[in-house]
Amino acid sequence: MRAQVQSALEEIRPYIQADGGDVELVGVDDGIVTIKMTGHCVGCPSSQVTLRQGIETHLRKRVPEIVEIVQAPDTHPVASSHAPVTSPFATGQAVGAAPAPQTVTANLRDMHRKAESMLTQLESAVEAIAGGQGKPEHIKTIGDVIDFLQNELMTHMRQEDEVLFPALIPFISWGSPMSVMAKEHRIINDEIGELSQALSAYQAGGDAGALARVAKRVSQRLRDDFYQEENVLFVEADESIVGSRAKALKEAMERIAAAAERDAH
């Protein structure tokens, strides 16, 4: 269980670090997880909110076997000058809960579901090839997935980078994870290019194992990206961006999608 808890903490660490804080796993004993807040989180009243409503919810979702989560006391507590934060977790909405269709992230979440389905197809096709059971239809499946990733998914990421993330900046005083996610999108774009090259190399007589390794890396990075966005940024967006502002943002994202479709034809 300790390894699972540590992995779950690593998923949200960038958001805590973005505000100058950090979290350490102290121990796991009979389902009781002990963590310690460090950095700017020490002595900061809002760190308690972050722990209870953010970290705890995330850990319990990823590791259902957890019985209790406790915070180790500060050895040398100090008064913090760190300004109170507006936590994306302090919204009253369950983390990961499906929003109503009218929310600003509804279409983005739909794209995540479609992408996850495509990734499942990719993983199945690559597994067959790596196991020596590859057929022409598996090659076609991988090619179709790559085409989807290079077009529809890249349009989706443009919508986030150019519209959603900038709109969130005024509402997230606890740090700037948007820059982290934008950087992640650039890495994903590069790795999708590597996947395309790996497929071409395999078709030219290359190693199936190399194709499998690249595909696995791309799939895992994308699934992690989706999970982090939905459980942090999308929650904040659906709470903070409503009414006419939400309508304007959705229209801006629709214009990006329409322009991409025109360019494709």
N-terminal to C-terminal alpha carbon distance within the chain: 50
Q: How many CA atoms lie within 13 A of 251 on its CB side?
A: 6
- 50-90 tens-digit pLDDT: 455 567 777 888 888 988 888 886 554 443 333 433 343 33
Q: How far apart are CA 225 and CA 141, in angstroms?
A: 22
Which class is domain 2-71?
Answer: alpha beta
What is the pLDDT at residue 81?
Answer: 37
Entry pTM? 0.64
The CATH-assigned architecture of domain 106-264 is: Up-down Bundle (1.20)
What is the pLDDT at residue 169?
Answer: 80
Q: How far apart are CA 77 and CA 43, in angstroms?
A: 6
CB 199 within 8 A of CB 142: yes
What is the spatial order of strands in the sheet that 32-39 belongs to? 21-29, 32-39, 68-71
For the chain, state the CA radius of gyration: 21
What is the pLDDT at residue 189?
Answer: 95
In the chain (265 residues long), the average pLDDT of successive 10-residue segments reads 88 70 86 82 52 70 86 55 38 43 86 96 94 92 97 96 88 64 91 96 91 95 90 86 90 94 86
What is the pLDDT at residue 216?
Answer: 95
- Domain residue extents for the chain: 2-71, 106-264
The one-letter amino acid at 41? C
In this chain, the answer to whether the domains covering 2-71 and 106-264 adopt an identical fold is no
What is the pLDDT at residue 19?
Answer: 58
- 149-186 tens-digit pLDDT: 999 999 999 999 999 988 888 776 544 567 778 889 99
Sequence-distant (≥ 6) Cβ neighbours of residue 133 within 8 angstroms: none
What are the structure tokens assigned to 149, written together? Answer: 């990733």
What is the pLDDT at residue 42?
Answer: 57
Q: How far apart are CA 41 and CA 80, in angstroms?
A: 8
